Structure 1
Amino acid sequence: MQQAHRAGNLKQSNKSHKSRHRSKRGIAAAVKGKVNVKEFVRRNRHVLKKEERRHQALQIRKNKREESMNKKRALGGTRFPPFLVCVVPLNRQLDVNSALAILKSCSEGAVATESPNGILHIALPNFKQRFSFISPEVDNDFSLLDALKVADTALFISSALDEPVDEWGEKVLALAMAQGMPTPVVVAMDIEGVHPKKRTTEKQNVQKLISKWLPEEKVMQLDKNSDGLNLFRRIGNQKRNVIHHREKRPYMLAEEVEYVPESDGKGTLKVSGYLRGMPLNVNGLVHITGLGDFQMSRIDGLEDPHPLTLGKETGKSDTMEAEVIKVSVLQKADPAKQESLVSENVPDLMDAEQTWPTNQEIEQANIEKVPKGWSDYQAAWIVESDAEDNSEYESGSDAEDDEQFMSLMESEVGPTDEKYDDTVDAFEEHEVLKKLAAAREDQLYPDEVDTPQYGFYITIHIKDVRQDLWQAFHASNGTAPLSLFGLLPHEQKMSVMNVALKRTGVSDEPIRSKDRLVFQVGYRRFIVNPIFSQHTNGSKHKLKSQDTVLLNLYKRIYPKWNYENCIVTDRDGKEGKDVAMD
């Protein structure tokens, strides 16, 4: 009888043919009538046709455009702070009040109010936007810089009758560009006072002068009410420049400032205004330009004193002015979580020294953990690791297990209906239900907390402000705007850095080494005595008594720098010593 051949264990197994696509016969042989469950349950994906893909892209583009337009239209509205405009004249003799008078009366429904610090607020119900105008003092460089660092728009005003840009105007433009230019808008006044045949020529002359500093800006006219409406429309709809040192921090321009002295020579400084930028944490630190770093005690939320009224009533009545402003406490500082004001590291000279242990430390080191009921003879035979294991075992006693068991049994069974009133306190149960409901609401809506957000009108209570320091600051900066910035973690620390500076070309006046200079960097302003040295690529630098074109500065500074915006002047604020970061 013939037997079929059976392959042994050493039979050669060839590799299968590498092919991406199998034939129908191969698929049928592999499946043999079976259907994969995943493939059967999964829904077939609809393949879009060319016209459908085009329609989908059109819808996505339309939604993004609508979202962008809604965000732009909401700026300056009821839930957002008003547009902050810094009005700067380009001629020392030009009065900006005439321009503000045109802006007040350009619209019939415009509502104009003024804050105690002199900030003009104009609400336009037709545009559904609000605008705030601040006019810094002329010939005060620090006042101008403090106003520009928090402003959304810089409104430069020139005149066609006088010199459009004089020496003061050139200095203003140089300082604004060195610190960080907000969104600029340039207007020319008094064009209507020029002969009609020369108006176009005068406007072109102003445009040529402005193009040297701002080549992309087009000069607007401001003489009539229609010009004022065009200016409001331009400010409200234009794209704003990004200033990086304030995009990551909360900041605020003070609308009201009040100092409350205390008995220990210190006091509380209350600063009210619209919060801009990022949310503010009460446990962090704030920096007041020219005053220093401080801690906060609490943050209060107030009603908007300059609301945007969209109805028929365009102004506040006399009865509303007599009402008491509602104040709600948003946050209170926690001393355990509050940032420290320590800025310098005080080294401990004995930190690295090896000292002899004290008697208490020796006694604690000699204490041995012995199980309960063991004698000294038994404890002598226990290894240290075994003793730790036994102590861990005895930590959980039988009584604790019994208590846990009894608590489980009681919680599972629960009280009966007859004993419910005797064992359960109705008031305590109601309070527990309230806590559970609040915890549930916090879990469902974690973002809805009373945290000072962008656009809130708040009052910040700054604690431990020295009276002599505040009196000196207020005496020297009485009319200057007060700006406040929130600090990032560890930003109050001091450091030592080498910084390369170069001149802007405004002046060639020499600066001696160790001269007292005022540095304006981002939101900070501080005084240092820098040491100039030769700028080289090596690790060693030659000391120089005076700077020429490039200088290397070695001093103690804050590590959080805005490397694009630095202004250096002398102690008296004289011009001619402005430099920029390289």
Structure 2
Amino acid sequence: MVSAVHSHRPTIKANNKSFKSRHATKSSIRAKNKALTQTPGKVEDADPSARKSPHQQLMSKLDRRNKARQLQQNKHKDLVKETRIFDGRKGAPRIVAVVTLCEDGDARAAVKQLLGSLELEGDVPEVGSLVTSVERFKQKLQWLTPPRDLLPTLDACKLADFVVLVLSAQQEVDPHGELLIRSIEAQGISNTTVVVQHLETIDPPKRRPDVKKSLHSYISHFFPTIAKVNSLESPQEASSVIRTLCTQHPKGVHWRDDRPYLLADEVRWTDADGLAVTGVVRGKGLNADRLIHIQGYGDFQIDRICECPTAAPAAASGDSMALDNTESAAAAVLATPTTEQDTLEDLAPEAEMQDISDAVSEVPTNMTDRRGVLLDDHHYFDDDIDAINVPYEAPRRLPKGTSSYQAAWILDEDSDASDLEDEEDVAMVDDAVDPAAPRPEDGVEGLAGPAMTEAMTEYGDDKSEMFVDRAPEQELAEIEAFRRNRGNALDEDREFPDEIELHPNVAARERLARYRGLKSLRSSKWETEEDRPFQPENWERLARIGNYRAVKNKVVSEALVGGVAPGTRVCVYLRNVPADIEKDWARGGGKVLALYGLLRHEHKQAVVNLSLTPSSEYADAVNGGQTPIKAKDELVVQVGPRRLVIKPLFSQAGGTGKNGVAKFERYLMPGRTTIATIVAPVCWGGVPAVFWRRQEGGGMELVGQGSFVNVDQQRVVAKRVVLTGHPFKIHRKLVTVRYMFFNAEDVAWFKAIPLFTKRGRSGFIKESLGTHGYFKATFDGKINPQDAVAISLYKRVFPRGSEEFRG
């Protein structure tokens, strides 16, 4: 017997009739109207808020699968396109750089052991280049064995598709080897493989796995993706390395692959054609209208690009891969420059900037007539220059309607006459003079109320004291004793790194004539007209880029189309190239010669900002007592294909405020990122930058690494100086300050600058006392006797130019 289940009819659920629009929602009505107005045969997107049927959900799942399949196919097409230059026996060889990190490492022996695992032979040079054909994988490998020097190794790794790092089982990686690792990693590296030599010499044999494990732990600190350290003495592991080099897809270096580049297989020089470089185009297409950069020599124009027949793959060095003159003469011309070819001019023409340079050739004459320092965008006390030497006149009470002429005839004793006794008829006729307003000698900031002006002294008297200047000899002795006692405290505290001390005989208004005041470093407006007389000679001729990111995207997109296709073996003829390039290449020495195609505008000089993060070795040296690098010290920087000698300005990283002002830093401090500003050629994209410092013995010390930030000429690097004084007498908020200035004229000149203390109080100069630079100041609260009173002054510093590194 089946029991019936009883359920009550729901009373709170309303089943509205779907065909009645009274109960329809706005979204359903909108979807219905959209379906009525839809064009026949046209599929439009449905309302995202509409509920989907199971069939629609199934279709969207199929759409997602189709989209994922299309993305996968596009990625596969891109992969095939990138690896097409290596396909077949006639493809371009894969460049493999062999770098020894230990002193007993032998790159030549390492290459021989790798080739011997597949029974391949070749005359491997001690330093140089070798091309071998691996018939088993239908690939060609070009081995680069640079000398164990920093710059040749970096040049080889910059071009390599694969980098083989050679370790030793007998010796540890020395400091020079660690310098190579850090520099290679900083400039950008493609696929990396690690091998070890002399592992068979480790006895007993059961210790060999532990040695390999220790080496893997060490190298994983720099390259975490390394899965295994292969032994060259093992034929199985050596052949596995060769298989990886021939079959693995090189990930490349991003900044390098955005530009065309070419490794020189042959270099010829003739008086008729100039320099001709033969090699395989890699990266992007080689455009004849763009410039070519040769590292260490500069930028050059392309005369023509000719097709070069593929040479027979011979197991020899690059010297045996020369082409006959008759063969190159009959080669077809693939590309020639057009009328839009880039010029070698790195500055704007002088004719365009002539009107500007004439306007700023001399210092404005009105600068010598000014009576006060520049605060933000205004020179205080310039509105009424003659009023400074006019004695102060108290406001007078005059009858309504009295003119200035009539007021001159009214004597002070007549101001109490009967016609002035009526309070309703008395008014102030001069609206510009307010009895409650600050006096002109008190500064623009103004003074506090009567309680401030009648403040008591530190001794509690209701009457103000008479100020008496000290004798000059006594004053100098007290200043020396005060600064000598504060020396250690400043070194330990270091809260005022920009503090300077002026000699009592030096006028601050002359010593700091270029400095100005800012109420806020982040928001106060920076008046650029004041800096124009001090600009460098070619400042107005530098390239200016309004929107760096937008222009970068446009220029990089231009390089995606056109030019000689990658994988083509060509012979590039260059104009006005010195013959020393061919002689240096023929001399050998393990140095590689490469042509790097520049993008549009990458030869123009501009104000360049580079990020710089100091290395751990530099931090250890500074913490150990070594003097940190000062701004404008000479450094060597490698930015993409260029290597420059620079003298950078250091400024705070993290962006600027809305006024575009960044604070100048005197030293490269370890542990934080700094912006290095120089005048150098433009570069597009976040290209890595590596910084070194030359040593006395001719070596290079790694300073740090960073990247190319942007091109910004409007960014102001402001150098700050802090003048400090000592509270001499304190009464509540009224303080007498000394040792900041040493004459009354300096106090009057810097009167508009706001004061601050080390503990966060703010105030302003009230009036000068005597002739030795003492002054009264009012603060927003009571200050401590051990506190220091200070003002901040700023001036703009301009970056210096750069030179091509010839090393």
Structure 1 and Structure 2 fold alike (TM over 0.5): yes
Task: Check the 8 A contact 2:694/2:700 in 1, yes or no.
Answer: no
Aligned to 1:532: 650
- How far 1:63 sits from its partner (Å)? 6.6
Structure 1 pair 489/535, CA: closer, same or farther in 2 (3 Å)? closer
Task: Check the 8 A contact 1:280/1:453 in 2, yes or no.
Answer: yes
Structure 1 pair 190/116, CA: closer, same or farther in 2 (3 Å)? closer
Task: Check the 8 A contact 2:608/2:678 in 1, yes or no.
Answer: yes
SS of corresponding position for 1:465:
coil
Unpaired runs of at least 5, structure 2:
1-18, 30-35, 42-54, 316-321, 359-560, 708-807
Task: Check the 8 A contact 1:283/1:338 in 2, yes or no.
Answer: yes
Structure 1 pair 350/486, CA: closer, same or farther in 2 (3 Å)? closer
Structure 1 pair 191/451, CA: closer, same or farther in 2 (3 Å)? same
Mapping of 1:182-331 within 5 angstroms? 182-194=190-202, 195-218=204-227, 219-261=229-271, 268-307=274-313, 325=327, 327-331=330-334
Task: Check the 8 A contact 1:117/1:256 in 2, yes or no.
Answer: no
- How far 1:478 sits from its partner (Å)? 5.2
Task: Check the 8 A contact 2:131/2:314 in 1, yes or no.
Answer: no
Structure 1 pair 499/126, CA: closer, same or farther in 2 (3 Å)? closer
Cα deviation 1:490-541 (Å, max 9, x = unaligned): 1111101344422021223522332222210111111122233555845445
Aligned to 1:556: 679
- 1:167 and 2:195 correspond: no
Larger CA deviation: 321-330 vs 344-353: 321-330
Task: Check the 8 A contact 2:267/2:276 in 1, yes or no.
Answer: yes
Task: Check the 8 A contact 1:77/1:308 in 2, yes or no.
Answer: no
Task: Check the 8 A contact 1:124/1:308 in 2, yes or no.
Answer: no
Mapping of 1:54-453 within 5 angstroms? 76-78=86-88, 80-108=91-119, 110=120, 112=122, 118-138=128-148, 140-163=149-172, 165-194=173-202, 195-218=204-227, 219-261=229-271, 268-307=274-313, 325=327, 327-334=330-337, 336-348=339-351, 350-351=354-355, 452-453=564-565
Alpha-carbon separation, structure 2, partners of 1:556 and 1:350: 21
Structure 1 pair 62/350, CA: closer, same or farther in 2 (3 Å)? closer
Aligned to 1:495: 606
Cα deviation 1:377-429 (Å, max 9, x = unaligned): xxxxxxxxxxxxxxxxxxxxxxxxxxxxxxxxxxxxxxxxxxxxxxxxxxxxx
Alpha-carbon separation, structure 1, partners of 2:355 and 2:333: 43
Task: Check the 8 A contact 1:564/1:580 in 2, yes or no.
Answer: no
- How far 1:242 sits from its partner (Å)? 4.2
Letter in 2 for 1:559: V
Task: Check the 8 A contact 2:230/2:238 in 1, yes or no.
Answer: no
- How far 1:190 sits from its partner (Å)? 2.3
Task: Check the 8 A contact 1:75/1:129 in 2, yes or no.
Answer: no
Task: Check the 8 A contact 1:513/1:547 in 2, yes or no.
Answer: yes
Task: Check the 8 A contact 2:179/2:702 in 1, yes or no.
Answer: no
Q: Compute the TM-score of the two structures, normalised by the length of structure 2.
A: 0.48
Letter in 2 for 1:481: V
- 1:513 and 2:631 correspond: yes
Structure 1 pair 472/567, CA: closer, same or farther in 2 (3 Å)? farther
- How far 1:489 sits from its partner (Å)? 1.2
Aligned to 2:573: 461
SS of corresponding position for 2:572:
strand
Task: Check the 8 A contact 1:75/1:83 in 2, yes or no.
Answer: no
- How far 1:196 sits from its partner (Å)? 2.3
Letter in 2 for 1:172: L
- How far 1:62 sits from its partner (Å)? 9.2
Alpha-carbon separation, structure 2, partners of 1:254 and 1:143: 15
Task: Check the 8 A contact 1:530/1:554 in 2, yes or no.
Answer: yes
Task: Check the 8 A contact 1:499/1:552 in 2, yes or no.
Answer: yes
SS of corresponding position for 2:177:
helix
Letter in 1 for 2:267: V
Cα deviation 1:530-564 (Å, max 9, x = unaligned): 23355584544555554222544232022215545
Letter in 2 for 1:300: C
SS of corresponding position for 1:119:
strand
The structure with more radius of gyration: 2
Alpha-carbon separation, structure 1, partners of 2:71 and 2:341: 45
Alpha-carbon separation, structure 2, partners of 1:53 and 1:541: 54
Cα deviation 1:441-470 (Å, max 9, x = unaligned): xxxxxxxx9952211121111111134x64
SS of corresponding position for 1:98:
helix
Task: Check the 8 A contact 1:521/1:561 in 2, yes or no.
Answer: no
Cα deviation 1:129-184 (Å, max 9, x = unaligned): 1111101111x222111111111111101121332x22222111100111112211
Alpha-carbon separation, structure 1, partners of 2:106 and 2:126: 21
SS of corresponding position for 2:215:
helix
Task: Check the 8 A contact 1:330/1:452 in 2, yes or no.
Answer: no
Alpha-carbon separation, structure 2, partners of 1:246 and 1:524: 12
Aligned to 1:357: none
Letter in 2 for 1:284: R
Task: Check the 8 A contact 2:689/2:706 in 1, yes or no.
Answer: yes
Letter in 1 for 2:677: Y
Alpha-carbon separation, structure 1, partners of 2:110 and 2:345: 47
Letter in 1 for 2:567: G
Task: Check the 8 A contact 1:121/1:306 in 2, yes or no.
Answer: no
Task: Check the 8 A contact 1:498/1:552 in 2, yes or no.
Answer: yes
Aligned to 1:435: none
Task: Check the 8 A contact 2:108/2:124 in 1, yes or no.
Answer: no
Counting aligned pairs with the same residue, the percent is 26
- How far 1:97 sits from its partner (Å)? 0.9
Aligned to 1:575: 700
